[in-house]
Amino acid sequence: MDTVSAARNHKNTIQTLSGTIASIGLEQSGKKVAGSLITPATWALNYAAEGSKPGAVDIGLWATGFVSAPAAITTSVIKAVMDDDTQRKLSHVRSKEPAKYAKFIHPCSNYGSSAPEIVAMSIANKGGTAWISNIGLWVYITDARGNLVADYQPLDFLKIYRPKKPYQAGLSGGFNWEVITK
């Protein structure tokens, strides 16, 4: 693996560790406010470069750092490693689908904080298609505007949750949905 691939595959871990070291260094030199702004600055750069935004968990961990820095640092590093793993799996899932749709496929962990399969059910209930890939990552698809897509047929899947045709409202206010397995 070359250096660029290694950096890309471990981006979240590298950013978390280097940001933590920079924050500690600034705080130790008497620049506590600057140290606390390292993480939001990283988020701003990631948004400018990639359009990525921090999740609710990331924001919560940053806020927790004001109360218990050691706990927040430990949890942040673990989460960063998990985020890197999710990104590697997402790249694999996207590579198995048509290129014109790939960038609109997202991990279910971006949509909600429940277990991924529960989030997939929620997505189907709200009118979208979610599936578990052959490598075990639950994902869903949106259109270019970020709206859930009801009728996508993934090429690489173990199980799909999506609204049942003809589209009908269920008793809970969402859509009636179906489960499709290979």
Relative to beta strand 130-132, strand 159-163 is antiparallel
- Quick one: pLDDT at residue 2? 72
Quickly state the pLDDT bin for 39 (edges 50, 70, 90). Answer: confident
Pairwise CA distance, residues 140 & 106, whole Å: 5
Quickly state the pLDDT bin for 146 (edges 50, 70, 90). Answer: very high
Proportion of the chain above pLDDT 90, given as a percent: 43
Q: Is the pLDDT of residue 36 over 90?
A: no
- Quick one: pLDDT at residue 172? 76
Residue among 136, 131, 174 nearest 151 (CA):
131
- Quick one: pLDDT at residue 152? 97
Give the residue extent of every domain in the chain: 3-95, 99-181
Query: Helix, strand, or coil here: 155?
Result: coil
Pairwise CA distance, residues 174 & 112, whole Å: 16
- Quick one: pLDDT at residue 1? 59
Radius of gyration of the chain (CA): 19
40-78 pLDDT tens trace: 777 777 778 777 777 777 777 767 666 666 766 777 777
| pTM > 0.95: yes or no | no
97-143 pLDDT tens trace: 999 999 999 999 889 878 999 999 999 999 999 999 999 999 999 99
